[in-house]
Amino acid sequence: MVKKRFAGLLAFMTALSIILAGCNGTSDEGKESKKSETSAESAFPVTVKDDTGEEITIDDKPERIVSLLPSNTETAYALGLEDQIVGVSDYDNYPESVSEKTKLGGIEINVEKLLELNPDLALFSASQGRNDKDTVKQLQSAGIDVVVVPDANSIEGAYEIIKLIAMTTGKEAEAEEIIDGMKKEIAAIKEKAADVKEMKKVWIEVSASPDLYTTGSGTFMDEMLKIIGAENLAADQEGWVTMSEETVIERNPDVILTTYGYYTDNPEELIYSRSGWTELNAVKNKEIYDVNSDTVTRPGPRLIEGLKEVAKAVYPDVYK
């Protein structure tokens, strides 16, 4: 009887210790989460330098944010700021839940509607910062912090944008995690590039005839082609440029990538049907692919998705 009582007591004590351990664990996790939030808030005030070259001091962690450029919004969401975002531009389309946010205009901002949202922070694009200086001053006069986020045309530049938005919102730890993840992905892709036996020439078509726009050096897609071990047919040009059909035919690409499938049905068929292009390697070998324009042009975490898509299109055997 004594042994049975002892055994029962031992079982009870063991169960109790497990429950207490679980409670302590939950408590510790809660403390860590609380500590993280407190740490982020204690980082304020913060002073950042934006695209204007001016130093902006943000006294408190922003609770209500408007983002007026899709790439800035995507970055804000990736940093975990979905609940803080109260207004976006008409062009914002990712992630899907962004459609639930208040739209504040496209090229022209609806300032009255913006002010009604009572934001603490407004993230402007570089062009908005240059062209809407009066609006910037109006928002600043209303007590809203305005940060003009610079343009970027390289992955390194995208990192800087992520860091800037993170600093202004108390999300620096999250930014570090995102950037580390992007760097690891790129390193893995570069490693696979060593398996490329024969470098392919790639023609990037941003818009169809009569104006054949493409991306030359100093663009995301040019950098992506270098990373995967391919040659950009327009690498001798700078930025976004036009190129004649005759030049494309003369340079004879092995692969053609289009980026306008979101507004043109079957862009591949459009190219296959062009007279004079039938003898191109890309056409003969049916190496024409449309890639998601947003993921190869917007500076932010999704650039890695674009890079992977480009890699698989150009070298499907290498980047499976």
Q: Domain with 240 in it: what CATH number?
A: 3.40.50.1980
161, 90: one domain: yes
Q: Which of 124, 151, 178 is the last residue of a domain?
A: 178
Lowest mean pLDDT among 10-24, 78-92, 214-228, 256-270: 10-24
The gap from C-alpha 238 to its chain's centroid, in whole angstroms, comes to: 23
Quote the percentage of the chain above a pLDDT of 70.
Answer: 87
In a domain, 210, yes or no: yes
What does the alpha-carbon distance between residue 211 and residue 205 come to, in Å, rounded to a whole number?
10
Q: Is-above-0.75 flag for pTM?
A: yes
In a domain, 155, yes or no: yes
173, 258: one domain: no
243-248: which pairs have CB atoms within 8 A and are 24 or more residues apart?
A: 243/212, 243/214, 244/212, 245/209, 245/212, 245/274, 245/276, 245/277, 248/203, 248/212, 248/277, 248/280
14: pLDDT strictly greater than 70: no
Q: Which of 178, 211, 243 is the last residue of a domain?
A: 178
In a domain, 70, yes or no: yes
225, 298: one domain: yes
7: pLDDT strictly greater than 60: no
250, 214: one domain: yes
In a domain, 30, yes or no: no
282, 164: one domain: no
39: pLDDT strictly greater than 80: no
In a domain, 189, yes or no: no
205, 151: one domain: no
In a domain, 1, yes or no: no
26: pLDDT strictly greater than 50: no
Residue 165: per-residue pLDDT:
98
Residue 148: per-residue pLDDT:
98
Strand order across the 288-290 sheet: 231-232, 201-205, 255-258, 288-290
Q: Can you state the angle between helices 155-169 and 172-193, rounded to 10 degrees?
A: 160
Count of domains observed in the chain: 2
Residues 6+ apart with CB under 8 A from 221: 204, 215, 232, 257, 259, 296, 297, 310
16: pLDDT strictly greater than 50: no
- pLDDT digits 0-9 by tens, 195-240: 999 999 999 999 987 889 999 999 999 999 999 999 999 999 999 9
Q: Average of pLDDT values for 85-91?
A: 98
Residue 147: per-residue pLDDT:
98
274: pLDDT strictly greater than 80: yes
205, 266: one domain: yes
60, 172: one domain: yes
- pLDDT digits 0-9 by tens, 221-230: 999 999 999 9
Residue 320: per-residue pLDDT:
84
130, 223: one domain: no
Residue 37: per-residue pLDDT:
53
Residue 208: per-residue pLDDT:
83
Residue 111: per-residue pLDDT:
97
Beta strands 55-58 and 65-67 are: unpaired
Beta strands 201-205 and 213-215 are: unpaired
In a domain, 52, yes or no: yes
Least Cα distance to 104 among 96, 113, 95 occurs for 113
11: pLDDT strictly greater than 50: no
273: pLDDT strictly greater than 80: yes
Would you give the end-to-end CA distance of the chain in angstroms? 68
- For 93, the domain range is 46-178
Residue 1: per-residue pLDDT:
39
300, 205: one domain: yes
Q: Average of pLDDT values for 123-139?
A: 95
In a domain, 3, yes or no: no
Q: Which of 129, 152, 178 is the last residue of a domain?
A: 178
149, 206: one domain: no
What does the alpha-carbon distance between residue 271 and residue 268 come to, in Å, rounded to a whole number?
5
174, 202: one domain: no
192: pLDDT strictly greater than 70: yes
Residue 42: per-residue pLDDT:
63
